[in-house]
Structure 1
Amino acid sequence: MSITISFIYLSENFKGEFLNPASDLFGFEICRKELWGHKILKDLGCKVIPALNEKDLFIVNEELEAAYEDCLIILQNISEISSVTNYSEIFIEIRVNNLLKFVETALKNKNDLGINIS
């Protein structure tokens, strides 16, 4: 089973036909614990993504900024995260960039969009 990313529509009037990120994949179910919930992410300062270890994420409002920061932290420390978790840098980079595309779109439409990772 895979972890996927999707938009949460916060406004009934929002027209989101243009919303079509290339990929909605965020890894396999086991990544919740082995990668996104790994202690290294918390140690590096990630605040939102590590909670995926415990539950599905519903990211709205100011949490979008925190998710964006988490993505940047992961990309800046990808070698260290890869060596500790045994997931390849490419695997991590692809998934984080998938999330980053969703987050950037949601930030531009903050009153209308949120993100679900489940």
Structure 2
Amino acid sequence: MDVFVVGSDGEMQVLDVPAGSSDLAGFERWRTRVWGSEVVRSLGARFFPVLAGADVQVDVEQVPAFLRECILLRENLEKIVAGTVPARTVEEHRDVISRRLANIEDAARRAQTLGGGVLIW
């Protein structure tokens, strides 16, 4: 997952991940098992479920809606944990989902500050 800006030439520039931040959004299988899961879809999420079949590009004008979706997932973390299959214990599953969601939230806030967007690939 990365933050990007569009340069004056119209070209997308993917920014380096700053020290202290992480670009980890989850394991590859999470595209379908977590972010694209039925429980996430049932919450009304529209960005995250796209990961089940494709990468996600959140353009600058979509970042506020994407941040709201991150909040929705954060508020429903227990439902997501209960509705997805843990690789280890439920506690570890909750912790890893929470940390990966925090990475995504951080990237979205950085994008908003910079007038950029987010790529999850």
Task: Give the SS at the match of 1:93.
Answer: helix
- Whether the aligned pair in 2 keeps the contact of 1:42 and 1:50 (CA below 8 Å) is yes
- When you count strand as a share of all residues, which structure comes out higher? 1
Distance 1:80 1:20, change over 3 A: same
Q: CA deviation at 1:12?
A: 4.7
Written as runs of structure 1 = structure 2, the 5 A alignment for 1:102-117 is 102-110=107-115, 113-117=116-120
1:10 alignment partner, one of 1, 6, 25:
6
**1: distance between equivalents of 2:80 and 2:103?**
17
Task: Give the SS at the match of 2:26.
Answer: strand
Provide TM-score, normalisation by structure 2: 0.81
- Whether the aligned pair in 1 keeps the contact of 2:60 and 2:111 (CA below 8 Å) is no
Task: Give the SS at the match of 1:26.
Answer: coil
- In structure 2, stretches of 5+ residues that fail to align are 87-92
**1: distance between equivalents of 2:37 and 2:16?**
35
- In structure 1, stretches of 5+ residues that fail to align are none
| Stretches of 4+ aligned residues off by more than 4 angstroms | 16-21
Provide TM-score, normalisation by structure 1: 0.83
**2: distance between equivalents of 1:61 and 1:92?**
25
**2: distance between equivalents of 1:41 and 1:12?**
36
Q: Once superposed, what is the RMSD of the aligned Cα atoms? A: 2.2
Written as runs of structure 1 = structure 2, the 5 A alignment for 1:59-98 is 59-87=58-86, 88-98=93-103
- Whether the aligned pair in 1 keeps the contact of 2:40 and 2:73 (CA below 8 Å) is yes
- Whether the aligned pair in 2 keeps the contact of 1:47 and 1:66 (CA below 8 Å) is no
Percent identity for Structure 1 against Structure 2 = 23
